[in-house]
Amino acid sequence: MRIGIIYETTFPEFKGGVERWFSQLASGLAGESFNVIYLNGNGRNTNTSNLEYRPIEKIKMSFHETGARSAQNTISYALASFNSLRKFDFEVLYLSSFPFLHIWAARIFRMISKNRFRIYVEWFELPSINYWKREYGYLFGTLGFTIQQLTLRLSDVNVSYLDSTRDLLIEKKTKNQAVIKLPGICTFENSVGNTTKYKNRNDISQIGRLTQDKQPLLSLAAVKELRKKGWSGHFHLLGSGPLAQEVSSYIRFNGMSEYVIVHGDGSDEVRREILEKSAALLHPSRREGFGLAIVEAASLGVPAILIRGEDNKSTELRINPTLVSEESNPAEIADLLQKALNNQEKFSNECEHWIRHIGNNMLATDSIEQLTRHFHSI
């Protein structure tokens, strides 16, 4: 069976959790003797056993280059995907859910070509109408939400990971569609016994893109409040993005340079080193489809401070349920940070319990095994 994979919509695969998952998915399926072609947007062109990386047409990856997603980027990516599909003959085409237009391009290509590949789309989340309106205004937000809901109907199979997303997909599916729930995308396995050791840590970290969704300025405000309580550690901010200048200005204007360290983008090794020094991961994201960063932190015994919201699915994992803020309030978040600092052994044990009893049932390897069985059955 020949399987095509399209992702890397906004930046190269090594940047974030989902990007790394798609790369692992491609390698895992190739290891099961499927012929996999990964159509990528960052120019990668390699060929190994059963796995080819082929670049789609050269396009302007505006989100990666300037930090701002644009309509031009979304349209050019869809057109490039459409043109690339003419060069290959797939039995399965496996797509990410964002941006939506490349899914429409795949469906239109199938309609006008002789290639009858099955379309699979992964949905980590289905942002609410409130999210769309808040981020893009009433007109464009309503348009974006409408396109999202229509896109749900274009695939043969929709894929989810969390129960809430699966339930929404089932509610919206057509009579000819199927919905598959996979275990998860966690990349650890039996590691907790060696890594989840209680340590007296004093630093705090945030890992993620510097975007409005991730709210790094809120984190800085909370850390500033925590400093007033006598905290003397360092705050490590790992990531880059469109708010980099605002973050830098906030740190300078508030005299926080002495204890705030902005690392920019970093490797897995740098991320692990920072987490191992941290008493807590500050993760005030407004929109999260799975929350891989907090899972990776938990595998090292590091609890996460979250904000509850209808578009933040990471709270559904319930790793450290008492460290969830009900509001985007710096003072409330600072109190939760203080709580994590003062009760490190308790929250480290919570992480260990979650990894052993829940997290090890949400492994990426298990998802690949389930997909392998499914593809063999069709």
* Residue type present at position 192: V
**Predicted confidence band of residue 245 (pLDDT cuts 50, 70, 90):** very high
pLDDT band per the 50, 70, 90 thresholds, residue 231: very high
And the tokens for 77?
Answer: 């990516």
275, 324 Cβ separation under 8 angstroms = no
Residue 190 has pLDDT above 60, yes or no: no
- The two tokens of residue 82 are 């459409």
Q: How far apart are CA 262 and CA 214, in angstroms?
A: 15
Question: What CA–CA distance (Å, rounded) separates 268 from 113?
Answer: 42
Report pLDDT for 12.
41
User: CATH 3.40.50.2000 region(s) of the chain?
Assistant: 2-185+362-377, 192-360
What value does the mean pLDDT take over residues 58-69?
52
pLDDT: is 159 or 190 the higher one? 159
How sure is the predictor about 49, in pLDDT bands with cuts at 50, 70 and 90? confident
Long-range Cβ pairs for the range 125-131 (8 Å, 24+)? 125/97, 125/165, 125/287, 125/288, 125/289, 125/290, 125/311, 125/313, 126/152, 126/165, 126/168, 126/169, 127/287, 127/311, 128/310, 128/311, 130/310, 130/311, 131/286, 131/287, 131/310, 131/311
For residues 91 and 2, the answer to whether their CB atoms sit within 8 Å is yes
CB 350 within 8 A of CB 319: yes
Which residue has 């987490």 as its token pair? 275
* Each residue's pLDDT tens digit, 92-146: 999 999 889 999 999 999 999 988 999 999 999 999 999 999 888 999 999 999 9
**CATH code linked to domain 192-360:** 3.40.50.2000
Report the interhelical angle of 344-357 vs 330-342 (nearest 10°): 90
Q: Is a pLDDT exceeding 50 seen at residue 195?
A: no
Q: Pick the range with the lowest mean pLDDT from 45-59, 79-93, 136-150, 289-303.
A: 45-59
Token readout for 362 is: 């949400």
pTM above 0.85, yes or no: yes
pLDDT tens for each residue of 331-370: 999 999 999 999 999 999 999 999 999 999 999 999 999 9
In the CATH scheme, what is the homologous superfamily, with its name and number, of domain 2-185+362-377? Glycogen Phosphorylase B; (3.40.50.2000)
**Within its chain, how far is the Cα of 259 from the centroid?**
28
Nearest CA-CA partner of 16 in 181, 217, 239? 239
Instruction: Give percent of the chain with pLDDT exceeding 70.
Output: 91
